[in-house]
Amino acid sequence: MLNVDLHCHSTVSDGTLAPAAVAARAKANGVDIWALTDHDEVDGVSEARAAAAALGLQYVAGVEISVTWASQTIHIVGLQIDETNPELVQGLRVTRGGRERRAHEMAAQLATAGIPDAFEGALKHVGNPDLISRTHFARYLVEIGRCADTSEVFRHFLTEGNPGYVPHRWASLEQAVCWIRDAGGVAVVAHPGRYKLSDLAFDAFFSEFKQLGGVAIEVMTGSHTPDQYAYYAKVAANYGFLASRGSDFHSPAESRVDLGALPPLPDSVTPVWYNW
Among candidate residues 83, 47, 46, the one with its CA nearest the CA of residue 62:
83
Instruction: For ligand AMP, give the closer residue by CB, 234 or 256.
Output: 256
Binding region for Mn ion (CB under 5 A) out of 70-78, 111-119, 163-171, 199-207: 70-78
The 10 Å Cβ neighbour count of residue 145 is 7
Binding region for ligand AMP (CB under 6 A) out of 51-59, 139-147, 150-158, 258-266: 150-158
Tell me how far apart the alpha carbons of residues 205 and 192 are, in angstroms, rounded to a whole number.
10
Q: Answer with the entry of ligand AMP, Mn ion, none that 154 interacts with (C-beta below 5 to 8 A by kind).
A: ligand AMP
- State yes or no: residue 66 binds ligand AMP (CB under 6 A): yes
For residues 65 and 214, is the Cβ–Cβ distance under 8 A? no
What minimum distance in Å lies between the beta carbon of 15 and ligand AMP?
9
Tell me how far apart the alpha carbons of residues 10 and 36 are, in angstroms, rounded to a whole number.
8
Tell me how far apart the alpha carbons of residues 91 and 96 are, in angstroms, rounded to a whole number.
9
Note the residue count of the chain.
276
- State yes or no: residue 41 binds Mn ion (CB under 5 A): no
DSSP letters along 230-259, please? Answer: HHHHHHHHHHT-EEEEE--B--TTT-SS-T
Residue 8 is given by DSSP the state B
- State yes or no: residue 223 binds ligand AMP (CB under 6 A): no
Binding region for Mn ion (CB under 5 A) out of 73-81, 141-149, 178-186, 255-263: 73-81
Binding ligand AMP by CB under 6 A: which of 151, 207, 238, 268?
151
The contact set with Mn ion (CB under 5 A) reads: 14, 64, 75, 190, 248
The contact set with ligand AMP (CB under 6 A) reads: 14, 39, 66, 133-135, 150-151, 154, 250
